[in-house]
Amino acid sequence: SAVISQKPSRDICQRGTSLTIQCQVDSQVTMMFWYRQQPGQSLTLIATANQGSEATYESGFVIDKFPISRPNLTFSTLTVSNMSPEDSSIYLCSVPGQGGGYTFGSGTRLTVV
Amino acid sequence: EDQVTQSPEALRLQEGESSSLNCSYTVSGLRGLFWYRQDPGKGPEFLFTLYSAGEEKEKERLKATLTKKESFLHITAPKPEDSATYLCAYSGAGSYQLTFGKGTKLSVIP
């Protein structure tokens, strides 16, 4: 299965600022997914990022707040913009893996103060 | 509305005490049912994918089963290192995105 390097692993940010999270995959993948895991909650899909096209956002998530880049088949970034304490969560990227499953990055734990 | 519910929310077992975790799902068409393990501070680790009712998969002390409405993760003679949060998720027909349950936090006491 693919190996994902996600960074930063954690950050503490001031409200009103932005943070960009990076995911690097060790193989080429068409689809990449970005999830949010709020404290005590399940993982929620933010958007699907395909190389060469605009990301597709799920209900409740908008591009102005969570812009995504997908410049090639091994890399993607998610930016959390104009942050508020409600954005404090773990953010994860994911790609399709072997055996029908999906591989996840190690996550970025974001705290907004 | 498509959804997935896991129970119990937390489970505490003695080492060697077998048990099962439940995942109830409602989806108009199932492409796959997934089980993951998540350790604190880490991303989910893939365990199993099940595609059709009656299917079973095993890995060490874990066995996953699937019916038309539920999936079970059976843990046989658990060890402390099995302590983690176990997540269930599904993808619907024609979709590659996953919808997750809230997970079951398993603690195995020596």
Is residue A44 within 8 angstroms of chain B, CB to CB? yes
Q: Could you tell me if A6 and A110 are in contact, meaning their C-beta atoms sit under 8 angstroms apart?
A: no
Note whether A59 contacts B: Cβ–Cβ < 8 A: no
pLDDT at B97: 86
Q: What average pLDDT does the structure give for chain B? A: 94
Please state, in angstroms and rounded to a whole number, the distance separating the CA atoms of residues B93 and B46.
20
Top residue of A7, A31, A43, A93 to mutate, by most chain B CBs within 10 Å, is A43
| Predicted pLDDT of residue B59 | 94
- Quick one: pLDDT at residue B2? 65
List, as one string, the DSSP characters of A32-52: EEEEEE-TTS-EEEEEEEETT
Per-residue confidence (pLDDT) for residue B1, from 0 to 100: 64
Of B67, B58, B42, nearest to A104 by C-alpha is B42
Q: How many CB atoms lie within 10 A of CB B14?
A: 9
Q: What is the arrangement of strands in the sheet containing A75-80, beginning at the earlier edge strand?
A: A4-7, A19-25, A75-80, A68-72
